[in-house]
């Protein structure tokens, strides 16, 4: 996978999380994973299609997901939730959509033309994310709500 | 000196969601995320706009617009949605009503997409993440355009 692809995702995650949650984001070391299956419990997924195909996974624990969702809801003076219900899922998937949308915009400006699909969310009970058979780059990010692993797998169309 | 509350009429007119006293702009919100729908709805309602419909994909958005017409003044249109995307929905709404006031609200800010939407008839284009000020400013601009 080309390294150029990864930076826009890191930058966008930074700026969107900072803007939406108003917290400090710490970035861990990048690492490669041969299997790209999420592990933490809640995974929002956004597909990529165009010059490339692939997907971006935002992998986090259920606890972190709930905290992130509640903080996003709170920032809009919306009611808090005590489980990852429809509103909670809509909140997490929208965060994934905003980060990926901004990254795709940056990549577009660099000459890589592709689009994103509407986000979906998987939880521990239905974690059947198909593996595109390509190595995934993982960007671990630490925020006060917990850890978010951004898992990017992209391959050029053949 | 008089306190601000001595002028209720003036305060009322300050609500930018009203086209005339007691007459709100009527809004259709199209977005596949109920979080965003609620976010936009809250921002607009607080300024006096009336949300008359919501839709979770482009197709539903076009249908709702036709149902509501002519009792709808503004559409906020997401782009990345299942079944029918927002640009296609924009095209269909403009086909039906060339004077429709549609404002795109998307996480995608790609220049060609912005340009394409504006050429097709969108009145403005707002890139997510949303904040209250940005949303209100652009929508007021669109309504007066
Ligand atoms: Mg969307």
The β-bridge partners of B28 are: B53, B75
Alpha-carbon distance of B16 to B140, in angstroms, equals: 7
So what's the ipTM on this one? 0.92
**What domains appear along chain B, each with residue ranges and CATH number?**
24-140 (3.40.50.2300)
Kindly indicate the confidence band of residue B4, based on its pLDDT and cuts at 50, 70 and 90: very low
Q: Give the residue from B67, B110, B103 showing the smallest Cα distance to B86.
A: B103
Q: Which letter does DSSP use for residue A79 in this model? A: P
Could you state, in chain order, the average pLDDT of each consecutive group of 10 residues for chain A (158 residues)?
86 95 93 77 93 91 97 95 96 97 95 93 76 80 96 85
B100, B75 Cβ separation under 8 angstroms: yes
How many Å apart are CA B96 and CA B108, to the nearest integer?
Answer: 26
Residues in chain A with CB shorter than 8 Å from the CB of B39 are: 76, 78
Q: How far is the CA of A49 from the centre of ligand 1 (A)?
A: 16
pLDDT at B1: 45
B1 CA: distance to closest CA in chain A (Å) = 35
Query: Cβ contacts (< 8 Å) between B80 and chain A: which residues?
Result: 97, 101, 115-118
Give residue B107 CA to ligand 1 midpoint distance, Å. Answer: 8
Q: Is B39 on the interface with A (CB under 8 A)?
A: yes
Task: Return the number of CB contacts < 8 Å for A and B.
Answer: 62
Please say if the pLDDT value at position B58 is more than 60.
Answer: yes
Tell me, in angstroms, the distance from the centre of ligand 1 to residue A40's CA.
Answer: 24
**pLDDT tens per residue, range B11-57:** 545 789 999 999 999 999 999 999 999 999 999 999 999 999 999 99
Give the dihedral of Cα atoms B41, B44, B45, B51; nearest 10 deg: -60
Hey, where are the domains in chain A? 3-156
Q: Any chain B CB within 8 A of the CB of A79?
A: no
Report the mean per-residue pLDDT for chain B.
92
Domain A3-156 adopts which CATH fold?
A: Chemotaxis protein chec (3.40.1550)
């Amino acid at each position: 996978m080309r390294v150029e692809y990864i930076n826009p995702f890191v930058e966008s995650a930074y700026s969107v999380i900072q803007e939406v949650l108003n917290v400090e984001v710490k970035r861990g070391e990048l690492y490669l994973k041969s299997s790209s299956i999420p592990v933490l419990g809640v995974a929002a997924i956004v597909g990529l299609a165009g010059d490339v195909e692939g997907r971006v996974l935002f992998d986090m624990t259920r606890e972190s997901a709930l905290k992130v969702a509640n903080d996003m809801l709170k920032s809009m003076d919306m009611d808090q939730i005590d489980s990852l219900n429809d509103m909670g899922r809509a909140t997490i998937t929208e965060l994934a959509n905003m980060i990926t949308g901004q990254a795709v915009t940056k990549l577009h400006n660099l000459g890589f033309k592709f689009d994103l699909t509407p986000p979906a969310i998987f939880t521990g009970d239905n974690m059947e994310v198909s593996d595109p058979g390509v190595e995934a780059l993982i960007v671990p990010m630490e925020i006060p709500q917990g850890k978010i692993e951004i898992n990017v797998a992209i391959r050029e169309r053949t | 000196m008089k306190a601000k509350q001595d002028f209720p009429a003036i305060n009322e007119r300050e609500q930018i969601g009203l086209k005339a006293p007691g007459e709100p702009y009527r809004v259709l919100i199209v977005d596949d995320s109920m979080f965003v729908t609620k976010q936009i709805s809250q921002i607009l309602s607080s300024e006096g706009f009336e949300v008359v419909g919501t839709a979770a994909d482009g197709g539903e958005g076009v249908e709702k617009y036709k149902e509501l017409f002519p009792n709808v003044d503004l559409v906020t249109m997401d782009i990345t949605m299942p079944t029918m995307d927002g640009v296609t929905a924009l095209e269909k709404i403009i086909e039906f009503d060339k004077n429709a006031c549609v404002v795109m609200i998307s996480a995608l800010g790609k220049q060609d997409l912005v340009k394409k939407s504006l050429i097709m008839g969108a009145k403005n284009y707002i890139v997510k993440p949303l904040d209250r000020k940005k949303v209100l400013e652009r929508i007021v601009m669109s309504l007066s355009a």
